[in-house]
Structure formats: structure tokens, C-alpha cells
Structure 1
Amino acid sequence: MAFLVVSRYSPLFAILFVASLAGLHCESPGKSPAFSFRFERFEKNRSLDAVIALYGDAEISDFVVGITRPAVFSSGRVVYRKPVRFLGRNPSFSTYFAFSVSSPDGGEGLAFFLAPSSSPVKESTNGLHFGLPPGATAVKFETRTEPETGSHIRVEVGGEISKQSSNLSNVSLVLHGGEKVHSWVDYDGDSKRFEVRLSKSSDSRPLSPLVSYPIDLSRVLQREEKLVGISSSSGNSTQTSSVYSWSFAVKRGAPYSMHSEPLDPRPFVVRARESPPIHLRRTYPWGVFVAMVFAAACGGLLTFFVMFVWFALIARRPVAPVEYPVHPVEVGYQQIELVAGEKGVDSTKK
């Protein structure tokens, strides 16, 4: 009987089982990033202190993070406390931040970095090296004004220069004048391309990046959990650096379209709110519906599988006929003879 049950339902079971396995490895379209955070402004409170760490000379004032003080050899860092784990074979990330650097007498600049979680981020750099922890992968926005280079962008992987932009003055961008600048840094793990964009506060996200080159960061990102941060140092100057807003997202696929329409930076400006959102994630109503349907389907498949196994095991149990005890019974009998005579039947018992 068990064989008949398995034979009867095996095609349907096989189809459902394969579909369930395929569904476990599929991601619904529009799935939210694996990890993300966003700060439209920085307000001193316990919620912010729980997720953001300030080191060195960094401090918050008027909803802005001042990373360096107007003093020589000043340095500081703003770091997201939770280490970030990059998942998947081709991890990607995107970050946006608005910053300003005021450096009338030289200075070094500001940097966005990804550092190993074991890095000593609390240690001081003595106001040098952009305040970067050792072994960091960084995008440096250098404010040096030498005639040969001027202000430029430099990408470093593990402390080694990987790519450097041309003089930013060629695109009418001055980093050391104290003007707010918007930056987008994107790494696409699928195409293995790194891109950096800059714009003034009144501009939208540029279509053409200032830095764009192929590089495979998969091993670097997956090697160890990373601390995400922004740092700055003044060097032998009185440079001051500030960060106004910051967002970051890790994705298994590509970052938000690197060649799509420009992103308007105005949603990131400081807004007058009593309780601004500190840790937000993008949500999609239809994505929630798809997730609910997927969860219901998985639950149904699991229930079907359990019932199928239970029924198959029950059907395999042998069914034997019930045997009742047999007791011998003695039957007595008598022989009766019938004699027919003239007067009728004469029965004689013996």
C-alpha cells in the first residue's frame, strides 16, 4: 500500500519539492539592501550615540559633525559602530555624504573609508594621514593646492594608491574653500567597477563620474567585517572639516543604478524636525506582499512534506490478521433407530 501511495504522489511531490528548493535561492525583485543606514543630520541623543562613534577631535554641534578643530595636527573620525559584513559572491556598496573643508593655509582633506573591524580606530594619527586607520580602503578628497595636482580625488586599497583623479579645478570644484560638496561613492560587484562623483550643493548627482575604473574588491570586502567611517586631519594647518549628512548601503547586486538619472541631493539637506529619523530602511509595499506570499508558499510546502512523510510511514506498517484462540469442543450424540410397524413409528434409543 505504501508503494502505491508513493507511486501515486511522487510526480507531484517531486515538482513541489524542486520548486521549494528553487524558491529558497531566489530573491524577490525589489528586495531591500542587505544593510543600510541614513542620517539626514546629526543630533546629540542616546539613539545617535548607540550607532555612531566619534573619535579624536570629532564632535557634534548644530546637527553637524565637526571632524577637525581649527588647530594644527587635529584629526578625528566618525564611525558607524556596527561592523558591516559583505555577503554574496559579488558584494556591492553605495555611499553618499555632504561635507565641507575649510583650509586657508593648506591641510590634507577628508576621506571615506572601509577598515577591518580589528583596526584600532580609536587610536590617534597625530593629525596626519587623513586620520585613516591602518589597512583601510579609502577615497581621499585631498585639498592640497600644489600647481601640479591641486585638489584631487585619490582611491587607496590597503594603503596603496589604486587610482587618482585629475585636478578638480578643471571641473570648477574647489574642496578647500569651505563650500558644501556632495559626494557619491559606488562599487558595483557585478561589473567590478568603482566610481566617485562630486557636485556642488546646488547640483544634482552627475551622470559622469570623476573617477571610474575597473577593480575587483570582492576579496578585500569579504576578508573581514568592515567598519565604515569618515575621517579627516589638518596636518600642519588649521583646516576644519565637517559632515552634514551621510547614507550607506550594502547590496548583493549592483548599487542603485550607476548610470541612471542623477539623484537630487536636496532630500539630504538639514530639515527642521524635532525627531529626525536616524536608522531608516527603504520599504516597498508590494515587496512586503511578495514576501508574505513567498512565506505562505514555503509554509504550505513544509506542511505538505510533513504530512506526506507521516502518511507514508503509517502506510508502511504491516497489517496482520487477528488470531483468536481455538478451544476443542466435545460434542455428544445418541443413535436413534426408527422402526416402522403397524402401529406407527417406534423409536428406540440406544
Structure 2
Amino acid sequence: MVDSRWVVLWLLFLFFSYGLLGAAAASAGDGRFLYSGFAGSNLDLDGTATVTPRGKLQLTNGTVQLKGHAFHPTSLRLRRNNNATVRSFSSSFVFGILPAAPGGLGGHGIALIVAPRKDFPSGIASQYMGFLNKTSNGNACNHIFAVELDTILNPDFHDLDNNHVGVDINNLTSVEAATAGYYDDVTGEFRSLTLISGEAMRAWVDYDGAAKRVDVTLAPAGVAKKPRRPLVSATVDLSTVITDQAYIGFSSSTGTLSTRHYVLGWSFGVDEPAPELDVAKLPKLPPIERPKEDVPKILLTIALPVVSGALTFAMLATCVLLLLRRRYRYVELREDWEIEFGAHRLSHKDLFHATHGFNPKNLLGAGGFGRVYKGVLPNSGTEVAVKRVCHESRQGMKEFVAEVASIGRLRHRNLVQLLGYCRLKDELLLVYDYMPNGSLDKFLYNNNNAHHGDNNNKQQLPALSWAQRFQIIKGVASGLLYLHEEWEQVVVHRDVKPSNVLLDAGMNARLGDFGLARLRGHGAGAELQTTVVAGTFGYIAPELALTGKASPLTDVFAFGAFLLEVVTGRRPIDDGGNGGGGTVMLIDWVFEHWRRETLVEVVDPGIITRGDQYDVNELSLALKVGLLCSQPMADMRPSMRQVMQYLQGDASPPDLSTAAQHMGLSMLALLQNQGFDSYVMSSSSSSSSSMKRLDTSLSTGR
């Protein structure tokens, strides 16, 4: 017979052994688990997700454009039988989101999701947070319930801000959402929290099956108990969403900005509150890494006092002199605006190596404010475009940098993203997303079509289909709408044209080159007085040429010229492109065909000769919108919001009959009457920030 004392000791040994693992504290079948850290757990991990040696669940490791998933291995029993409603359940977890460096800017957030599967191979590592994509987003067949802790403002999903909590059903457009924070139980006061602060926080997600209500509560990890008032409450019947077999887990992604996402502890319960987490026993978040350029300064500060006693006075004086010389020679200036923007400061050394010493072979192009080089960042391997800003820019360096700092906070899928910068003495380097397909104008004019007048180009590029062109038009319109109405300030771009529209790997349009852009607050005066007429001849609105006052409507005019250019394949100003000789304004030419009801004759032959399917109604709509935007009378032009409604079919096509009497004015004659005869007749229209520098051929329209 086995001694009963040995049996008791063996059972105690097994109990403590499993307790030390810190993993699920209950069987899979009872719908309850507790992870006090993740050492020894058997989570299903995917992508960049991993469990660190100290028990932290790390969903992303800071590498950009990657995703990570982590799921409880067994399915949930959220229904008592196949036809029953979903039972009440509760989940609690402690998490932390760490930016690449202090400053609070980084990639996307974390989502707690309940789904019928544990793998999401088609999920995109960007605004779709690693578990949805453009096609699946909003599809009821997803059967996904999620709570997002999002650190990016995405207008496509109608996000509140770049620091919010939302309840999602099959869609990243939240059913209900609120800015991150919590309500104090004593005062009832709302206290804001910054999700990407690098501090540990705790979240509770509670579903009441009887009331069909989801409550989400947030608090700092150190708060003793769950706040009584939830941050977000949403009335949702999850019985129509969650399937019989469901799994719960986390998904996260980085997008174009480096971020690390951690979960430190997690619990779950069905028909009862989630087991309480002992925050004091959970693993700790790692500190936010300092920028690498600061490390030598720290080491130098520590090393000098240690070795000073062993050095002679002469040697010490020499070292100090050399140090001062080096510091003043390579000093990197910092100003007040960099407190907020400093997370994206990059070292000059990294950018120098990324571009192979700004090798001419890496040169992508040159603009009014500097040359642009292709580079690969040495640490992440990310392809970037690095612009060296000209020192002799007419804007003062300080004002120019301050402007770039503000615009660098723009976040939209149809704008080129400013990833970082570097200042070394009086040199400024700007680092952008690299667009592998280059600028749109190369696709419009590098195909040696005789009517383009570009027979000297060596590289042949494929002609754009109508579907690609229409998508590009809508993309630029969406970006301008964000600039004019949806960002925290009004941004007037002032240089909308095909050479400033870049194409990513998927041929999606990104509006870039904000060197001429100006900002003002919402509700301020509609116009911005500038000291010079800025932009490119052919895209400059008549009132801007006459008064020097820029406004969103002058951008609308430039967009109209751009739209007509994309549809026709012709430049805004052509010296004889219509076969009749002399200078021809594209707007006048298209309008004349509209009057004759022969609009089909203005369409780029490259669209028709490709043999692809194209929508005649879309072509006609685009041309009409282009004419409406390009008309001389500013108050007759639509806003970019109206333009988007036209292009997306949310509003009836524009009626040109009212505006036709104003369009009947020849744009060429109008500009000549306003004092620009010499520029028109001398064929000078290249990109410039001053009409006094319009010194290249008008026929190029660029």
C-alpha cells in the first residue's frame, strides 16, 4: 500500500509546479483562465509575437510594417448550445505601448479580438492592425468582435483622434469610441491617458449577455481597483457576431513607424468577472530606448570624470579642446518645437550611410528646395527618400523647419509620410516614405506619344489604365480633403501637380512636396496673403496670380487642372498641342469640346488603345468635375468635400450650365489681361515659388 503522506506531498508538488508557470490557472473547458505573466504558457503565436525570457508577451519588436498575433490555445464556450445567445464574459489585461524613442509618436496600437479562427494571413500590417484588410474590412462574414487601443488617427475609419479606445464589429470603424482615459471614482473627473506613453495600463472588457452591452474600462496599472464608470459603452448583440467556436487573443501592427507592443498579464471568465490580476507580480515593461545618437554623449559624460585623475593637465586640456571643436563643428541644433517632434530625429551618420554618402547614383530627382536621394536605413532596412534642403532657400531656415515640423504630423494614406529629419549645423535633411513607382508625370509623359512632345525620354513605362487613373484622381482628392477640412489646421498645399503626386508599390497616389504649403487655423480668414505668387504656371488660379492670396479654393483650381491633365494626357499649357499652332490652355480646349459635345475626343488615346474596360460615365464625370474646379470664378468652384462626393457617386454629377458663362472666358486671355502676357508668350512655366523665376518652357507645364 502506498503511504498516504507521499500522495499528499506529490499532489502539493504538482500544485506548486503549475502555479510557478504563471500560465492558465483553470482548465480550457470551464471558460476561465489567468496568465500572471506568460513564462511557460502555450499561447498560439504568429508573426513577430513572442514571449520574452522574463515572461512578457511581446506582440511587435519595433520592426516597421510587421504584425503579431497571440491567442489562447483553446476555443471559448460562449454558448450553452448551438442556438443559445452568447453568455456574459469578462476579460482583463495589462499592456504597454512603447514608441521607438521619447516623444509619443509611433505606429498602430493593440486590439483584443474574439474570432472564429486564430490565424490572419491576409491581415495588413498597417491601419488594419494586422487582422483585417481593405477587402475584408466591414464584411459581416468576419464574425469578429474587437476592442481597439489605437494610436493613429485614420480618417478612413472616422477615428476620433490618435489616442482612442473603440468597440469594433467586423469593421475598424468603431461602433462606439472615446479618447483614452478613465473616470475618477471620488471626483467623477475624467483623467486622460496616453496609450503610447510607454507606461503600463490596464483594460477591462465586459459583455453583459442579458443587456447586450459591451463596457470597456481603462486605468493606469497602479490603480487599486477597476473604475466604476466605464470609458466606452456600446449596445451590441454579440449573438449575431460570435460563432459557436470562437478564440480570444491579441493582434497588433507597426505600420510605417516603429513601435513595440507588450501584454504583461491577462485573465478571462465566463458568467463571472475575469480573475483578478496581481499587478505587482507581473513582469515589468522595458524602458523606452534612447536615440542611438545620445549614447556616445552619455558614455562620454561617465568616462571623463573617471579618467580625469589619471591624465595630466595638458592631456586633459587637449581632450577638452578637441571635444569642444568636435561639438561645435557637428552640433545638431534643437529648438522648442522638437520637444514634440523629436521622436523622429535621425542621426546624420545613419542617413549618410543609407544613401552611400549621397551618391549621385542614388539621386531620385531635384526640386525647388533640394535634391532627393534613395536610401536604406541601416538598422531597419527600410527604404526611404532623403531630401537635402537647399541652404539658400528664400525662406529662412528656422521658419522653413518650423513649417516642416507642423506638416510632419500629418497622417493620411494619400499623403507622403514624413518619417524623420536631421539638422547638422545649417543643413536640413528630411526623410520620407520611398515610393517605388516614382512620380505620376513620368507615367503620363514618358511613353513617347507624339502629342506630348516628349520624344527624348529613354525609359518606356506602361500606359496607365483608366481604372488606375481614376483611383489616382480620387486618392489625391481624398488627400486634399484631409488637408483642407479634416486635420487640426487648414493646410493649403499650393503646388498640386503630377510631378508632386508619387505612386507606391500598389500604384496608389500620395501627394507630396509640402515645400510651398501654408497653414492656418480653422475658422480663420479664408485667404492667406503671401509675399510672392507661388506654384507652377498652368495650375495657378487667376485670383492667386492677381492678388497673391492663396486659399483652399486655389488648391481646388490646381486639382481641376491636374484632373484634366490625367484624363487627357496633355499638359495645362501646350504650345500647339492641338494642331493649330500657338499657345493652348488645356482648360479652354476641354471646355470648347464640352460645348461641342465632343468630350470623347479629349480623352488620352492611351486609355482607349490599351483594350481595357473603361467606364464612359466615369470619364465624362471626371472631365466635368475638372472643368468645374478649374473655372475662373473662385466662388463657383466646389470644395474638396463636394468633389469627393461627386467622384464617389454620393452626389449628382455637377451641372456645368450655370458655370458655363464664366468658363466661356478664355483662360489664356484672362491671364494675359492680368499682366502675365510675357510669361505666356515666352513659353515659361516651370515649377517655382515666385513668378519672377518662371524661366523654363511653358510647353513643359512643369
TM-score, scaled relative to structure 1: 0.58
Give the match's secondary structure for 1:165: strand
Partner of 2:89: 93
Q: Cα deviation per residue 1:195-216 (whole Å; 9 max; x = unaligned)? A: 0000001112110000012221
Tell me if 1:167 matches 2:188: no
Partner of 1:197: 217
- Distance in 2 between residues matched to 1:160 and 1:107, nearest whole Å: 16
- Residue 39 (structure 1) shift: 0.4
- Distance in 2 between residues matched to 1:156 and 1:219, nearest whole Å: 14
- Distance in 1 between residues matched to 2:90 and 2:218, nearest whole Å: 14
Tell me if 1:140 matches 2:143: no
Structure 1 gap ranges (5+) = 1-32, 258-262, 273-350
- Distance in 2 between residues matched to 1:192 and 1:132, nearest whole Å: 25
Tell me if 1:210 matches 2:222: no
Partner of 2:70: 78
Partner of 2:417: none
> Aligned ranges for residues 218-229 of structure 1 at < 5 Å?
218-221=239-242, 223-229=243-249
Contact 1:67–1:240 (8 Å) recurs in 2: yes
- Out of 220, 230, 234, the residue aligned to residue 254 of structure 2 is 234
Give the match's secondary structure for 2:178: coil
- Distance in 1 between residues matched to 2:175 and 2:123, nearest whole Å: 26
> Aligned ranges for residues 17-36 of structure 1 at < 5 Å?
34-36=30-32
Contact 1:72–1:127 (8 Å) recurs in 2: no
Give the match's secondary structure for 1:97: strand
Which structure: greater strand fraction? Answer: 1
- Residue 120 (structure 1) shift: 3.5
Decide which moves more: 92-101 or 223-232.
223-232
The one of the two structures with greater contact order (alpha-carbon pairs below 8 A, sep at least 6) is: 1
- Residue 148 (structure 1) shift: 5.9
Partner of 1:296: none
Contact 1:143–1:151 (8 Å) recurs in 2: yes
Partner of 2:119: 120
- Distance in 2 between residues matched to 1:140 and 1:271, nearest whole Å: 23
- Residue 231 (structure 1) shift: 1.1
Distance 1:187 1:268, change over 3 A: farther
Q: Cα deviation per residue 1:131-181 (whole Å; 9 max; x = unaligned)? A: 225622110001126996231111111126342323226622110011001
- Distance in 2 between residues matched to 1:143 and 1:161, nearest whole Å: 14
Give the match's secondary structure for 2:79: coil
Tell me if 1:69 matches 2:83: no
Partner of 1:279: none
RMSD over aligned Cα, in angstroms? 2.8
- Residue 233 (structure 1) shift: 0.5
Q: Cα deviation per residue 1:87-118 (whole Å; 9 max; x = unaligned)? A: 2334111100000001343311001000113x
Distance 1:76 1:129, change over 3 A: same
- Distance in 1 between residues matched to 2:49 and 2:123, nearest whole Å: 12
- Residue 127 (structure 1) shift: 4.8
Contact 1:93–1:188 (8 Å) recurs in 2: yes
Tell me if 1:130 matches 2:129: yes
Distance 1:180 1:111, change over 3 A: same
Distance 1:267 1:160, change over 3 A: closer
Partner of 1:59: 50
- Distance in 2 between residues matched to 1:200 and 1:184, nearest whole Å: 12
Distance 1:188 1:129, change over 3 A: same
- Residue 128 (structure 1) shift: 4.8
Q: Cα deviation per residue 1:52-82 (whole Å; 9 max; x = unaligned)? A: 1110001111210110011211210111121
- Distance in 1 between residues matched to 2:283 and 2:64, nearest whole Å: 33
Contact 1:152–1:164 (8 Å) recurs in 2: no
- Distance in 2 between residues matched to 1:268 and 1:225, nearest whole Å: 34
Partner of 2:400: none
Partner of 1:24: none
Partner of 2:98: 102
- Distance in 1 between residues matched to 2:227 and 2:217, nearest whole Å: 7
- Distance in 1 between residues matched to 2:126 and 2:234, nearest whole Å: 30
Percent identical among aligned pairs is 27
Structure 2 gap ranges (5+) = 1-28, 137-141, 182-189, 285-702
Contact 2:120–2:130 (8 Å) recurs in 1: no
The number of residue pairs the alignment matches comes to 226
- Distance in 2 between residues matched to 1:235 and 1:57, nearest whole Å: 13
Partner of 1:39: 35
Distance 1:120 1:267, change over 3 A: closer
- Distance in 2 between residues matched to 1:160 and 1:67, nearest whole Å: 19
- Residue 249 (structure 1) shift: 1.7
Distance 1:128 1:246, change over 3 A: same
Which entry has the higher C-alpha Rg, 1 or 2?
Answer: 1
Which structure: greater helix fraction? Answer: 2
- Residue 37 (structure 1) shift: 1.0
Give the match's secondary structure for 2:38: coil
Distance 1:131 1:55, change over 3 A: same
- Distance in 1 between residues matched to 2:259 and 2:248, nearest whole Å: 23
TM-score, scaled relative to structure 2: 0.30
Distance 1:150 1:128, change over 3 A: closer
Contact 1:73–1:127 (8 Å) recurs in 2: yes
Contact 1:182–1:265 (8 Å) recurs in 2: no
- Residue 83 (structure 1) shift: 1.7
Q: Cα deviation per residue 1:276-332 (whole Å; 9 max; x = unaligned)? A: xxxxxxxxxxxxxxxxxxxxxxxxxxxxxxxxxxxxxxxxxxxxxxxxxxxxxxxxx
- Distance in 1 between residues matched to 2:78 and 2:166, nearest whole Å: 23
- Residue 264 (structure 1) shift: 6.8
Contact 2:180–2:218 (8 Å) recurs in 1: no
Contact 1:245–1:268 (8 Å) recurs in 2: no
Contact 2:176–2:234 (8 Å) recurs in 1: no
- Distance in 1 between residues matched to 2:231 and 2:129, nearest whole Å: 21
Contact 1:73–1:128 (8 Å) recurs in 2: no
